Structure 1
Amino acid sequence: RLRLAGRAVPTVPMLVAARRMAAGETLRAADVRLIRVPASRLRPGAAQEAEVVLGQALRRPAAADQPLLLADLVQPVAVERGQTVTMLYQVPGMVLTAQGRAMEAAARGAAVPVMNLHSRLVVQAEVIGPGRVRVGGSR
């Protein structure tokens, strides 16, 4: 027989950076680590599930073992400011493409002003992928 003394402390999962990372890096499974911390030490807004953070980009650098805060994560930039992009205009039965220059950086799904390189007109477009934007038409 053994007599033990102590106290039980409830713990919760929390995601931390597995290594030092720079601002703008996109998080992959190898970049995060799940640890358990006392519930009283869980920082407000700290990520607790890997599915929520994977594929997101860091707004600011993160040190190894630093908690990942949801407020520090953003969609990764798919179009850089000044980047040449393919502008896509689609209507049923017709697809037109043209080259343009992004006037701002933007993530997938965001609106971005794009200057048509041929006409020099600036139009609003939706980022649909790296280097690709959709202008007007049906979706």
Structure 2
Amino acid sequence: MRWVWLIPLLAAAPAQADMLVAARTLRAQTIVTGADLILRDGPDTGLSDPAQVIGQETRVTVYAGRPLRPGDIGPPAVVERNQIVPLVYDSTILRIETEARALARAGAGELIRVLNLSSRNPVTGRVQPDGSVLVEGMK
């Protein structure tokens, strides 16, 4: 009868795999290097390949010995909060360029909200590698 209770416990065990953990405490906005990482056995957190993490920026503080999760890292920021950035609206027949104020930090490829300085309206666009924000129209 005791074995019946043991079976659900064995089935619910987390999958074990290699996981990346922080070798030292990494403050938010730190660029991750190979020396910052250790590969250990443990529960599958989704990050096990150092190539996916090296060169990325921490979004939150990651304490030494803690596993890195996908939400903890992202591309390095090219736009800082309150920075004035070029805002580009692009459709098949029209292209408008103006200035906007960034409402958050973001890296290339990430969505960001900016305040259009001409109209004072907030818009959402994708950060380009050059630091501009692209709002795409209907194509």
Alpha-carbon distance change, 45 to 126 in structure 1, aligned in 2, over 3 angstroms: same
Unmatched 5+ residue regions in structure 2?
A: 1-15
Query: Does the 8 Å CA contact 2:115/2:122 hold for their aligned counterparts?
Result: yes
Deviation at 1:105, TM superposition (A): 3.4
Matching of residue 124 in structure 1 with residue 127 in structure 2: no
2:21 corresponding residue in structure 1? 16
Alpha-carbon distance change, 84 to 61 in structure 1, aligned in 2, over 3 angstroms: same
| One-letter identity of the residue aligned with 2:37 | V
Alpha-carbon distance change, 22 to 91 in structure 1, aligned in 2, over 3 angstroms: same
| One-letter identity of the residue aligned with 1:52 | Q
| Cα RMSD (Å) | 3.2
The whole-number CA distance in structure 1 between the counterparts of 2:113 and 2:71 is: 25
The whole-number CA distance in structure 2 between the counterparts of 1:61 and 1:12 is: 23
Give the paired residue count: 123
Alpha-carbon distance change, 47 to 85 in structure 1, aligned in 2, over 3 angstroms: same
Alpha-carbon distance change, 119 to 26 in structure 1, aligned in 2, over 3 angstroms: same
Structure with more of its chain in helix, by fraction = 2
1:5 corresponding residue in structure 2? none
**Which deviations, in whole Å up to 9, do the C-alpha atoms of 1:38-66 show, x marking residues without a partner?**
xxxx13416321123234332432344x1
Query: Does the 8 Å CA contact 2:17/2:44 hold for their aligned counterparts?
Result: no
Query: Does the 8 Å CA contact 1:90/1:96 hold for their aligned counterparts?
Result: yes
Unmatched 5+ residue regions in structure 1?
A: 1-10
Alpha-carbon distance change, 119 to 21 in structure 1, aligned in 2, over 3 angstroms: same
Alpha-carbon distance change, 19 to 92 in structure 1, aligned in 2, over 3 angstroms: same
- TM-score under structure 1 length normalisation: 0.63
Alpha-carbon distance change, 136 to 48 in structure 1, aligned in 2, over 3 angstroms: closer
1:30 corresponding residue in structure 2? 35
Matching of residue 69 in structure 1 with residue 68 in structure 2: yes
**Aligned-partner SS, 1:52:** helix
